[in-house]
Amino acid sequence: MSLVDVIMPQMGESIAEGTISKWHKKVGDKIAKDETLLEISTDKVDSEIPSPAAGIVAELLFQETTTVGVHTIIARINTDANATVSATPSAPVPVVPKVEAKPIPAAAVSTAATTVSHSGNLVDVIMPQMGESIAEGTITKWHKKVGDKIGKDETLLEISTDKVDSEIPSPAAGILAEILFPEQTTVGVNSVIARLTTDANAKISSSAPTPVPTVVTQPAFVQSASVQQSIVSQPQTSDRFFSPLVLNIARTEGVSMSELEAIPGTGSNNRVSKNDILAYVEGKKSGKSVPVSQYKPSAPVPSYSAPKPAAPITYPAGRVEIIKMDTMRKAISEHMVRSKHTSAHVGSVSEADLTSIVKFREKNKSAFEKREGFNLTFTPFFLEAVVKAIKDFPLMNASVDGDTIIIRKDINLGIAVALENGLIVPVIKNAEQKNLAGIARSLNDLATRARNKKLVPDEVTGGTFTVTNPGGFGNLYGFPIINQPQVAILGVGAIKKRPVVIDDAIAIRSMVYISMSYDHRIIDGALGGMFMQKVVSYLENFDVNQSI
């Protein structure tokens, strides 16, 4: 049998992982070379991945919605012409694991099923739900390895969530047969994370199991007899919550309840987390005499993730739906919050008379569509006007690097394209080198492939100025958020017929509002206003005698 590995591709130089959004084939299906096998999503682009060979799908190593490191084996294709599908199901695919930051090799996801031979019942160990709003937990430490005996209610592993750290007991007595996820893996609640065999005659295979990464722990610190008298066995004097894991560490390290209650927590509702108490214990070990009331854990590294609410979100039980953000939504969320933290946003709105452009488009759209094969929209007219205005005001095509301003010579226009569950911003490179028809062709090509998930990473990077179109949904105008590291973004509103005063007479004209958000760090109101009026001027003075 000849197996061909399917690898998670790297969809860009800075891409470290991808999320499997859909498998187009299941185990046992025939597949041709270059036929679509799966769809993946990254924070840059969604893409369909073709099969590297013709054959039969032999293994799918990860389930849909799983985030996997680049260059990791995610499936295998059997190229043997005589291959048959086994009636025996393969080991179950892990359920919704989220492999964070560092890619984890496929071999580390589960141990071999033959490590422990048995004939008894297997008991599943489930990732528990540690609260109504908790959707996942991170395995921080396995207390047992495959082949170890374990008693019922004996600690099997430690997990961490955004609410609490906890030790998880074994649901049964027996031998640990399988560990399905390594330490530091984030797994969805109710997923099977390990299996125990209750067979008293189970035997451990002589072949070494696939190693599961371990975390190096510090040796236990031995307290003096005087300190041992004050370990956590005292009654709790407040109603503050401490997780079983924190209490166990406190008990082991000889931290009194009064000390524990004085530790300022960094967890939800100021709970003391595992890191908080370990930092406190380390401070005691170093011999520093720091009063508990003055103890402060190390400040976390600031991030631009969405700020947490000041108070816990409460809602009636059973009256909510909890939805996990997908990769694209998390990326959008992170980028938008980071932009608001980075740029000093200022907004302006101008009005333009598009009557001439509306008439020009109406006159030429049929011939254009017949020649080009797609509809001529209004967006290329706005893009052309923006390109001309940027040439007049090059600072609008800049970015900020510390106290340095970088002005780009190439005008690369980002175009916001709405998708079913998000948006993406493909980039028209060197737009200053294209005429109106060329801009229209590039726009149609990129937007079509964006909606069909056919973009490549280079087509969604390198933008220097972005245009978005809230008018496409009937909005008069909007105030978009700057797409970093750019310094401005222009929004196009809906084109509406309105009565307008022209030379003391009222006329019905096709009018549009255009809005712009710009970075006040380098663009003042005067420059922003002049740029907007230049865009308006190019729109209103469009040459209707030109050919397209």
Summarised one tens digit per residue, pLDDT across range 501-525 is 999 999 999 999 999 999 999 999 9
Task: Say how far residue 22 (Cα) sits from the centre of its chain.
Answer: 16
On the question of pLDDT at 258 being above 80, the answer is no
On the question of pLDDT at 161 being above 90, the answer is no
Q: Pairing between strand 413-415 and 465-468?
A: parallel
On the question of pLDDT at 490 being above 90, the answer is yes
DSSP 106: G
Please confirm, yes or no, whether 458 is among the known catalytic residues: no
Whether the Cβ atoms of residue 477 and residue 500 lie closer than 8 Å to each other: no
Flag the least confident range among 317-326, 337-346, 366-375.
Answer: 317-326
Per DSSP, what are the bridge partners of residue 388? none
112 band by pLDDT with thresholds 50, 70 and 90: very low
Q: Quick one: pLDDT at residue 339?
A: 93
Whether the Cβ atoms of residue 204 and residue 174 lie closer than 8 Å to each other: no
State the catalytic residue, choosing from 29, 80, 148, 520.
520
Q: Please confirm whether the linkage preceding 89 is cis (ω < 30° from 0).
A: no
Indicate the pTM of the whole model: 0.54
255 band by pLDDT with thresholds 50, 70 and 90: confident
Burial class (CB in 10 A: 0-12, 13-18, 19+), 237: exposed
212 band by pLDDT with thresholds 50, 70 and 90: very low
Biggest CA-to-CA distance, the chain: 99
Please confirm, yes or no, whether 43 is among the known catalytic residues: no
Q: Provide mean pLDDT across the span 360-378.
A: 96
407 band by pLDDT with thresholds 50, 70 and 90: very high
**How high is the mean pLDDT of the chain?**
80
On the question of pLDDT at 379 being above 70, the answer is yes
Whether the Cβ atoms of residue 514 and residue 493 lie closer than 8 Å to each other: yes
Q: Quick one: pLDDT at residue 397?
A: 98
* % of the chain with per-residue pLDDT over 90: 45
The three-state secondary structure class of 248 is: helix
- Please, what sign has the CA dihedral across residues 9, 52, 63, 319? positive
The one-letter code for the residue type at 410 is D
Q: Provide mean pLDDT across the span 92-115.
A: 38
The three-state secondary structure class of 521 is: coil
- 275: its two tokens: 């890191």
Q: Quick one: pLDDT at residue 496?
A: 97
On the question of pLDDT at 440 being above 60, the answer is yes
- 192: its two tokens: 């099977």
Q: Specify which of 63-72, 109-118, 208-217, 513-522 reaches the highest per-range mean pLDDT.
A: 513-522
Domains of the chain and CATH, by start: 1-90 (2.40.50.100), 225-294 (no CATH), 330-540 (3.30.559.10)
Q: Provide mean pLDDT across the span 15-34.
A: 89
| CA–CA separation, 443 and 266 (whole Å) | 48
44 band by pLDDT with thresholds 50, 70 and 90: low
Q: Could you tell me where the DSSP H helices lie in 320-407?
A: 327-342, 355-372, 379-392
Q: Between these two residues, 442 and 192, which has the higher pLDDT value?
A: 442
The three-state secondary structure class of 352 is: strand
